[in-house]
Amino acid sequence: MKDLTTTEILDKTETKYFTFAHPPYELTLESGEKLGPITLAYETYGKLNEQKSNAILVLHALSGDAHAAGISKKDGAIGWWNNLIGPNKGIDTNKYFVVCSNVIGGCKGSTGPSSINPKTGKPYGIDFPIITIGDMVNAQRHLIDHLGIEKLLAVIGGSMGGMQVLQWMVAYPERIRAAIPIATALRHTPQQIAFNEVGRQAVMADPNWRMGNYYDGPKPANGLAVARMIGHITYMSHISMEQKFGRRLRTGKEPCKFGVEFEVEGYLRYRGDTFVKRFDANSYLYITKAMDYFDLLNGKPLNSVFKGLNAKVLVIAFKSDWLYPPYQSQEIVKACKLAGVEAAYCEINSTYGHDAFLLEIEEEAHLIKHFLNRVSNDLAIGV
């Protein structure tokens, strides 16, 4: 197989901003509350063709942002899915026009709890309304309208990004030709809710959280770091941890008796500490809650979920992913098949755990590339 991961890199990518839902035309959220104005931070790569038929929407996971690919013009940062998106890569920006936007509720340029509430002139904090995966997708739909795209060639995302893919399939089936949900689920199990809830408890237990009203003082960094550490354990597999750390001890001394000794401890603390520098604790609460609320079944029978969808679907799961185990992806496939939707299932034999959707690029890239080729070809010949 040709290596799709080491080719040309997109240079000087830029984040743009789209603002809509200006009062009195606010967006009505699924909760019934209204929110506006709403800004979405987004990036685009490649060129939209004349027919506007080559657009792919990439959806990010819990801690992601709009900067999916290339080198940021602003700070030189590499996009979070850069190995997959770019010229001649799995999602080939020579062929496709790729869009990625930061979710509402986020803290990377889109409107969220750390944004200024126009009514008070202060950050929303927990006055920010509860948001859902449905609300995230509704906001994205406004952006897609703004870009003049009537029908997306594909929606693609992993983890919470995959939930947004599934939501697109249900909420706007007529706006997509194909969908690739990766390492995700139709709804959170109580175990998935439980891990998120403990993370939220860790944040809210931090006295600096102050009911979400911390923007003028110290941040609830300790609580958020603990939440992120819990997350990282669930993102890795038992095997990938064994391979990465074993029981090796760190070198160097620690002043405190309960300091870092095992390498895995050092890794978790490092990941926790770096996360608090780049992420807002309230966004963590809102976004994890949106994931927990997500439930495409909600009492309905499985065969009704994707009824009427006329899109091709590629479902990807990873063998060692115990946070979003393969059986949850198989359930998505089953729901598609029961609704007569064309769906393929690929389980990649990775040891990386849930992180595999960001790391197991080689195989993922080939699967996605060939699937997108087929969708494009079918479109060209009018199938």
The residue within the footprint of a second copy, chosen from 8, 242, 254, 342 (CB under 8 A), is: 242
Active-site pick, 240, 354, 355, 376: 354
Examine residue 129 and say whether the peptide bond preceding it is cis (omega within 30 degrees of 0): no
Q: Which is nearer to a second copy, 254 or 342 (CB)?
A: 254
Considering 65, 280, 321, 355, which one is annotated as catalytic?
321
Nearer to a second copy, 58 or 226 (CB): 226
Assess whether 135 carries a catalytic annotation: no
Q: Is 204 in the site for a second copy (CB under 8 A)?
A: yes
Binding segment for a second copy among 11-19, 100-108, 163-171, 225-233 (CB under 8 A)?
Answer: 225-233
Q: Does 269 bind a second copy (CB under 8 A)?
A: yes
Using the rule CB under 8 A, is 331 a contact of a second copy? no
Q: Is 354 a catalytic residue?
A: yes
In angstroms, give the least distance from the CB of 204 to a second copy: 6
* Span near a second copy by CB under 8 A; candidates 66-74, 227-235, 312-320, 372-380: 227-235
Residues 7, 12, 146, 194: which binds a second copy (CB under 8 A)? 194
Check if 142 is active-site: no
Closer CB to a second copy, 31 or 303, in the complex: 31
Cβ atoms 114, 282 nearer than 8 A:
yes
- Work out whether 277 is an interface residue with a second copy (CB under 8 A): no
Should residue 187 be labelled a site residue for a second copy when binding is judged by CB under 8 A?
yes
**Residue 171, interface with a second copy (CB under 8 A)?**
no
Residues with a catalytic annotation lie at: 159, 321, 354
For a second copy, the binding residues (CB under 8 A) are 126, 130, 187-191, 193-195, 197-198, 200-202, 204-207, 211, 222-223, 225-226, 229-230, 232-233, 236, 238, 241-242, 244-247, 256-258, 262-265, 268-269, 272, 285, 289, 292, 295, 322, 325
